[in-house]
Amino acid sequence: MTRLLTDDGVGAAEGLACDEALAQRVGRGASPPTLRLYTYRAHCALVGRFQDVAHEVELERCAREHVGVNRRPTGGGAILMGPDQLGVALVVAGAERRRPRELMERLSRGLLRGLAELGVAASFRGKNDLAVGGRKLAGLGVYRDPSGALLFHASVLVDLDVALMARVLRMPFPAVGERELAVLAGRTVTVRRLVGAGVALDDVRAAVRRGFGADAEPTSLTAAERGDVAALVRDKYATREWVFQRTDVPDTAGAAELCTPEGRLDVRVALAGGTIKAAHLRGDFFASESAVADLEGRLRWHSSDPGAIAATVRAWSRGDGALAPEPLARAIAAAVERAREPSDPYGCFATPEASRA
């Protein structure tokens, strides 16, 4: 069985240090495989392992609104965590090497089972999300410890304060209006929106616990584990060297426009070096906003290679009457090309319409 840990209201440094300490200890056989289901204090902005904090987070607003800022050991983009986002940390001992997508798909099965128990029919999308109807419900990430132990992270949106997210995570527009907030809200979905406002976070936690088949009763960290967590807080997660470290990979952004007989399509992309970290599409001829959200999600943390973009767009289009995939893929590739030219970077947990920026 997998040990269960639960805690709530944890600080950013403490929450992340605990997960890494568990990975280290499970890897060397000092702690059992563990499922930790927890929430952060209101609120914490957590960037991906290699992201530039200043490009992803509105640091002054975070300070004003007492939003903690830190860096995850796992990859991916910036997220906002708080009392209504369930943090999932599954730590398992060394496993044979698999492709990241396969690992994440395998490690997220328990989460999918738990969500299904609540009546939420989520599915694995692209290489990095759980989605419902094309809208993101949970972000995923994995960290492989030197021992080979795996730390699987998921952030499940039980609910989401979209306005707060738009204030503290950097967006590619100078002001957030009702329209931008609506677009942001349309790119995500929450458990409460799907199941009902009465669902408590503890209900979601219990279902996810059962989905993973973890122990029914939570235990506490041992004294040795608490010592390891405290050391990691002190030596790593509470240090400026960790939180504000910089990467040499440039963040860039680019846009392209596609005119078709059906209408006009605006495409914006944000790159981290050669990787698409976010894409935003806007056009009035798509079948549904969820189709747009789905394609944007598939393109997140995606190769910027034109062939790979074309393959993903083809797989997404499924011949359902949306825009023909070839010109759409070419427009995205054109935006990527423009992003390779020097420009101002911006962060992208979600990228609403930005043509007025």
Partner 1 sequence: MPPHVPRDRRYDADQHLWARHDAGTGRVRVGVDALGLESLGELAYVALHDLGTTVRRGEPIGSLEAAKMTSTIVAPVSGELVARNDAVLRDPLRVNGDPYGDGWLVEIAATRWEEEAAELLADDAIEPWVAAEVERLART
Interacting residues toward partner 1 by CB under 8 A: 48-50, 73-76, 96-104, 127-128, 140-146, 148, 247-250, 272-275, 301, 303, 305
Taking alpha carbons only, the member of 234, 277, 226, 233 closest to residue 253 is 277
Q: Which is nearer to partner 1, 247 or 288 (CB)?
A: 247
SS3 label, residue 136: strand
Closest contact distance (angstroms) between CB of 316 and partner 1 is 18
Largest CA distance in the chain: 67
Residue entry with tokens 């599954």: 90
Specify the residue, 218 or 306, whose C-beta has the smaller distance to partner 1: 306
Residues 6 or more apart whose CB falls under 8 angstroms from that of 141 comprise 48, 72, 74, 75, 76, 104, 128, 152, 153, 154
Of 52 and 180, CB closest to partner 1: 52
Q: Residue 304 or 351: which CB sits closer to partner 1?
A: 304
Q: How many CB atoms lie within 10 A of CB 14?
A: 19
Q: Which is nearer to partner 1, 254 or 283 (CB)?
A: 254
- Report, in Å, the least distance between residue 144 CB and partner 1: 4
Q: In whole angstroms, how far apart are CA 265 and each of 293, 323, 324?
A: 14, 10, 12
Q: What is the DSSP letter of 250?
A: P
Q: How far is the CB of 355 from partner 1 (least distance, A)?
A: 27
Residue 66 preceded by cis peptide, ω within 30: no
Comparing C-alpha atoms, which of 79, 66, 43 is closest to residue 347? 79
Closer residue to partner 1 in complex, CB, 286/301: 301
Q: Looking at beta carbons only, is 96 or 284 nearer to partner 1? A: 96
Q: Which CB atom, from 41 or from 277, has the smaller least distance to partner 1?
A: 277
Q: Does residue 253 contact residue 304 with C-beta atoms inside 8 Å?
A: no
* Shortest reach from residue 102's CB to partner 1, in Å: 6
CB of 99 to partner 1, least distance (A): 5
In the bound complex, what is the minimum distance in angstroms from residue 265's beta carbon to partner 1? 26
What is the residue whose two structure tokens read 């041992």? 222
CB of 146 to partner 1, least distance (A): 4
Q: What is the DSSP string of 5-52?
A: EEEEEE-HHHHHHHHHHHHHHHHTTSS--EEEEEEESS-EEEE-TT--
CB neighbour class for 200 (10 Å; exposed up to 12, middle 13-18, buried from 19): exposed
CB of 38 to partner 1, least distance (A): 20
